Structure 1
Amino acid sequence: MRSPGRGPRRRASFSRPRRSMRGPAFSRTCLHTASCLLKEAPRRLKGRTPSGQRWLVRQLNDPFARASRAHAYRCRSAFKLLEVDDRFHVLKPGLRVLDCGAAPGAWSQVAVQRVNSAGTNPELPRGTVVGVDLLNVAPLDGAHFLCCHDITDSATLSRLQQLLPDARADVILSDMAPNASGFKEMDHEKLITMCLTLIDMAEEVLLPGGSLLCKYWDGFLAHTLRERLSAVFGNVRTLKPKASRKESAELYFLARMYRKQIK
């Protein structure tokens, strides 16, 4: 859905990520993985509901799902962040990153690699990755997770500030979403409200000049979120990474150059 009275929104597009999606080694690995999965497909389809069968077939045919298995990412959403970062260089060695809605941890995996929070390269500055989610997240070298924590809770904010060096972050990432109710407008409104909470939280933790990348579902309140972001960030872009399925209403706002002074 589009907001009434508003013209068509321009969306940034991407080419396939060079480092992650191309190269002979990647192709051989993915082809082998895909071949094995396709051979197993008839057995794995047995006993599934029609919707479950459709989901499995889609996963088997999805190049990003295959790539996530080949590269040991926890889920295909890692490639959404990889695409964004390959183009806009949001994540750099030494930066402090707060990953909201971190489960199952794929975005944190990318962040750990890009900011060098595991100290893999001793010649580069070592960053920090802190994730938070209502769900449990399996441990990850280079990241600290606050599991079973609500990002809207003031106690959670205090704990996050204790974990972040100087209680500040350079980048806030959010791929979080509410549990689907089946009512698109209601789910859209809930997700927009969650994103607005991140803007309020930015006043407490985000450094001036910092960045915020957040997922939202397109709908009647998208313009409200964009206006709030534009009020405190110097640049706001709407993105639709290729790893985000075309039929999905999922979009991302990349807001950069945070300019509101921290209290």
Structure 2
Amino acid sequence: MLIRRLHSSIQSFGKIVPSNLKGKKKSSQEWLTRQLNDPYVERAKIMNYRCRSAFKLLEIDQKYSLIKPGFTVVDCGAAPGSWSQVAVKHSNADGSKQGMPKGMVIGIDLLQIYPIEHATLFGNMDFTKPENQDKIRAQLGERRIDCILSDMAPNATGVRYLDQENIITLCYSVLRFAILMSSPNASLLMKVWDNAEVSVLEKNIQKYYTHVKRIKPSASRSDSAENFLLARGFVGIER
């Protein structure tokens, strides 16, 4: 219902043209204009989410029920923290749903992440480094992961094929970790950019999950090459 109400409210927004763009680069002008006219940006402020990307996860979770009370969630590429904020609430890591099991949320990012109550965050850490994955394992203890999220993306180089190769490399690092650490029937959600290798990645994921599909939530900008691969029903290495 939340997502439906948001979609209907979008129609009421008129385009805002900022008046303080003099002297700014064209790219900066375009970014500022887009931000001012993006209803998800304003909605994120109202609902106290750190950025608009929260609504991507909210929409996906509303449709597919990825995160439930008691779930253990690992958020890769967590900064600034909006997905971890959603995960804390939906997994009941904050204990707000009395009588329901409490979950655990762990976030990691190359950037610093300001603290989020009831989440364990590893800032300034590269997820792809084995020693940092070991830190996540140590934090998990005996727990297995019920849902792995990845909104990771490499810094753009401006070279299309290289950028595409880099994000696919990140995806495989998440997939390897998921195969080793997921609980039975766990889910995996990862960001990709449209390119020929995504289909190959999708087929590889299908070896370990019963359902895999490519999705693009409404909060993902229409002019973006961004998509998400959603895998559900982790079955492990042997099928």
Report the TM-score when normalising by structure 2. 0.92
Paired with 1:178 and 1:101, the residues of 2 have a C-alpha distance of: 10
**2:74 equivalent in structure 1:** 98
* Aligned counterpart in structure 1 of residue 99 of structure 2, from 103, 111, 123: 123
**1:22 equivalent in structure 2:** 5
Paired with 1:22 and 1:92, the residues of 2 have a C-alpha distance of: 22
* Aligned counterpart in structure 2 of residue 258 of structure 1, from 211, 234, 239: 234
Q: Percent identity?
A: 41
Aligned pairs for 1:34-113 within 5 A? 41-43=18-20, 45-113=21-89
Q: Match for 1:42: what amino acid?
A: S
Paired with 2:84 and 2:181, the residues of 1 have a C-alpha distance of: 18
Shift of 1:198: 1.2
Shift of 1:261: 4.8
Paired with 1:148 and 1:167, the residues of 2 have a C-alpha distance of: 24
Aligned pairs for 1:92-241 within 5 A? 92-241=68-217
Provide Cα deviations, 1:122-151, integer angstroms capped at 9, x if missing partner.
222110000011110010011110112111
Shift of 1:48: 2.3
Provide Cα deviations, 1:188-231, integer angstroms capped at 9, x if missing partner.
11101110111111132111210000000010111111011001
Computed over aligned residues only, the root mean square deviation of the Cα atoms, in angstroms, reads 2.1
Paired with 2:120 and 2:201, the residues of 1 have a C-alpha distance of: 29
Shift of 1:235: 0.5
Report the TM-score when normalising by structure 1. 0.84
Paired with 1:93 and 1:182, the residues of 2 have a C-alpha distance of: 41
Paired with 2:213 and 2:118, the residues of 1 have a C-alpha distance of: 29
Shift of 1:156: 1.1
Paired with 1:164 and 1:64, the residues of 2 have a C-alpha distance of: 33
Paired with 2:81 and 2:105, the residues of 1 have a C-alpha distance of: 11
Shift of 1:257: 0.7
Paired with 2:54 and 2:144, the residues of 1 have a C-alpha distance of: 24
Greater helix percent: which structure?
A: 1
Structure 1 unaligned residues grouped into runs of 5+: 1-17
Paired with 2:182 and 2:129, the residues of 1 have a C-alpha distance of: 17
Highest RCO, 1 vs 2 (Cα 8 Å, sep ≥ 6): 1
> Which is further off, 145-154 or 246-255?
145-154
Shift of 1:165: 4.6
Paired with 1:131 and 1:46, the residues of 2 have a C-alpha distance of: 39
Provide Cα deviations, 1:71-109, integer angstroms capped at 9, x if missing partner.
111111110000000000001011000000001101001
Paired with 1:95 and 1:178, the residues of 2 have a C-alpha distance of: 28
Q: Match for 2:2: what amino acid?
A: R
Paired with 1:140 and 1:64, the residues of 2 have a C-alpha distance of: 21
Structure 2 unaligned residues grouped into runs of 5+: none
Paired with 1:180 and 1:235, the residues of 2 have a C-alpha distance of: 30
Provide Cα deviations, 1:147-200, integer angstroms capped at 9, x if missing partner.
121111111111101112514211000000000001122111110111011111
